[in-house]
Amino acid sequence: MNLFVPQQFRQKFPLITRYAKYSTDKSQSKSSIVYFDNAATTQKPEQVIACQQRYYGEYNANVHRASHQLSTNATFAFEKARTLVQKFIGANSIKEIIWTKGTTESINLVVQSLARNTLTSADEIVLCASEHHANIVPWQIVAEQTGAVIKILPLNEQGFIDVSNLDEFISKKTKFVACAHISNVLGRINPIKAVIAKAKSVGAISLIDGAQAVAHIAVDVRALDCDFYVFSAHKMYGPTGIGVLYGKQALLENMPPYQGGGEMIKTVSFTQTTTFNSLPFKFEAGTPNIAAVIGFGESITFLAPLLADIQKGYNLYEQKMVNHCYQELAKIAQVNFIVEGIPDIGVIAFTIAGHHNHDVATSLDASGIAIRSGHHCAMPLMAHLNIDGCLRVSLAAYNTIEEIDYFINCLREVLLEDFSQAGVQVELQQKNHAKTEQLINLRTKEMKDIITLFTTVKGWDSRHREIMLLGKNLPRMEQALRNEQTIITGCESLAWLKVEQTRQGVYFFSADSDAKIIRGLLVIVLAAFNHKTAEQIHNFDIKEYFNQLGLIQHLSPSRGNGLLAIVDKIKLLAKE
């Protein structure tokens, strides 16, 4: 009997089946979702959701601290999950499994508990060019605290860590080497065994970020021989807010606690030295996320047999989807993959010539397709590749070939729309010439016209189309004006704002962005504030304006914050 059957696997995920009404044409249900953002977080199977509900409904109690039956039941389930994790990654002992909030906290624990207490200004830390910010910033902080120097392992053309010249980067000065098992942008399985072996040869401690690996490949920490391995439940069909720090017992024994409080102590006294609990509890201060730990254990029960299956049905199906998606994208002339070759897991990153990443992602969202755009918490990698950001499609085994084909068809339509957009705009101008003139010329009546326009359209897809059209009407700023003085900080895409003031104290703002969706939002914001005095600008109820337009509830938090950042910049300039 096959352990993995794609359609049966898919049916185990309530959110996926609830919104799985996609079709291969534009008449698809507006409530449907094609979820291609699995590298950010995976959906949860029914058994993971149900086991957390059982905990709260049947044996909710704190763990380790009471003698009653509810606590005993909770503690048993809690510690059973720890044993499941130990076996899942091949650790020697449950003492080597530390619960954290996730990969990020696991890295910070090692950095502040161990690295901060051992590094000096004569030491070096080695990272990789493709690391997630969570495996960069903590090391930058500790480097500043201790004076240690950070060195960066380069990548080859295919996006792997280049191990051909490790001797140039990992030396006797190296005390810590930290890199990802699989990049969250490039989808490459890095040659970490070679990196770990080199670190070991010079006495350096190795930390591997396995956040993107654990849902796709079997991990054996003893075979890798790494000192630390970190990962999160939510990227492997488990709950959010829970993760693991695996560490070799000898290292953990010698590390001081990361945080103080209940559970991590053995004795506390005002007159004698406080003593700490044994492993793993020494690093688990406070009441843990019990329901999430129990859910984590269930996600391992769900996933582990699929990764261990000798028939490899789960892995082969994932690779089939990766190959299909990559090959279909490669047929689109405007698509440029950010590194060479098909990725090792379902993480495919690319740009589209002549199109801003956020514009494409937002247009696809209007068709119910969830992909990610931006720098993917890997800004140094974007700089290394000389790009501002990219699009990322990340697949899971509950996705289908049909969903990929729907995505490709919608992407082709988005790209074709630009060729026909001029005709659409002319038609719009013919239907409502006076309104369009006001939009282009940015006259005082424009705000009322925009409100009228947006109250006549229903649904986010229609509003999105109007925003994109408005963006086409915004005059572009001269290149020389797009500089550090005019840039809007806090906006997820590059955007600039310039101010002029008349003798009568009336302000006029001009703005620009690389993304058409942001240019459209700028038109809407400028309509509210142009031709007003400073007093009128500061008294204007921008939130009510946005509510009238039905904008904020449809924008992502980052884009909503970016919109407010534009408003803040306008108000700041109006004070001058």
> What CATH number does the domain containing 524 carry?
3.90.1010.10
Q: Are residues 546 and 443 in the same domain?
A: yes
Which domain-ending residue is among 376, 396, 416?
396
Q: What is the pLDDT of residue 418?
A: 62
Mean pLDDT by groups of 10 residues along the chain of 576 residues: 91 92 47 92 98 97 89 96 98 98 98 97 98 98 98 96 95 98 97 98 98 98 98 98 98 94 87 91 94 98 97 97 98 96 97 93 92 94 94 98 97 80 43 39 62 80 82 86 87 84 88 88 90 90 86 68 84 81
Q: Is residue 106 part of a domain?
A: no
Q: How are beta strands 205-209 and 228-232 bridged, if at all?
A: parallel
Q: Are residues 500 and 556 in the same domain?
A: yes
On the CB side of 412, CA atoms within 13 Å amount to 15
**Rounded to whole angstroms, how far apart are CA atoms 210 and 88?**
13
Q: Is residue 473 part of a domain?
A: yes
Q: Is residue 491 part of a domain?
A: yes
Residue 80: both structure tokens together: 């059973």
Q: What is the pLDDT of residue 41?
A: 98
Q: How many domains does the chain have?
A: 2
Q: Are residues 376 and 453 in the same domain?
A: no
Is the Cβ–Cβ distance between 61 and 70 less than 8 Å? yes
**Rounded to whole angstroms, how far apart are CA atoms 514 and 491?**
11
CATH number of residue 390's parent domain: 3.90.1150.10
Q: Is residue 188 part of a domain?
A: no
Q: What is the pLDDT of residue 92?
A: 97
Is the Cβ–Cβ distance between 366 and 464 less than 8 Å? yes
Q: Are residues 474 and 561 in the same domain?
A: yes
**Rounded to whole angstroms, how far apart are CA atoms 313 and 78?**
30
Q: Are residues 511 and 383 in the same domain?
A: no
Q: Is residue 228 part of a domain?
A: no
**Rounded to whole angstroms, how far apart are CA atoms 292 and 495?**
40
Q: Are residues 452 and 381 in the same domain?
A: no
- DSSP of 524-551: HHHHHHTTEEHHHHHH--HHHHHHHHT-
Q: Are residues 391 and 436 in the same domain?
A: no
Q: Are residues 342 and 443 in the same domain?
A: no
Residue 176 DSSP SS3: strand
Q: Is residue 468 part of a domain?
A: yes
Domain residue limits at 458: 432-574
Query: What is residue 288's DSSP assignment?
Result: -
Q: Name the catalytic one among 51, 179, 226, 377.
A: 377
Q: Are residues 377 and 452 in the same domain?
A: no
Active site residue 226: no
- State how far the alpha carbon of 422 is from the alpha carbons of 167, 221, 436, 499, in Å: 56, 57, 14, 30
Which domain-ending residue is among 339, 373, 396?
396
Q: Is residue 242 part of a domain?
A: no
- Name the residue with tokens 């098909």: 342
Q: Are residues 438 and 533 in the same domain?
A: yes
Is the Cβ–Cβ distance between 233 and 52 less than 8 Å? no
Q: What is the pLDDT of residue 76?
A: 96
Q: Are residues 451 and 562 in the same domain?
A: yes
Q: Are residues 467 and 567 in the same domain?
A: yes
Q: Is residue 10 part of a domain?
A: yes
Identify each DSSP E strand in 463-565 by its residue range. Answer: 495-501, 506-513, 532-533
Buried b (16+ CB within 10 A) or exposed e, 479-506: eeebeeebebeebbbbbbbbbeeeeeee
Which domain-ending residue is among 396, 415, 446?
396
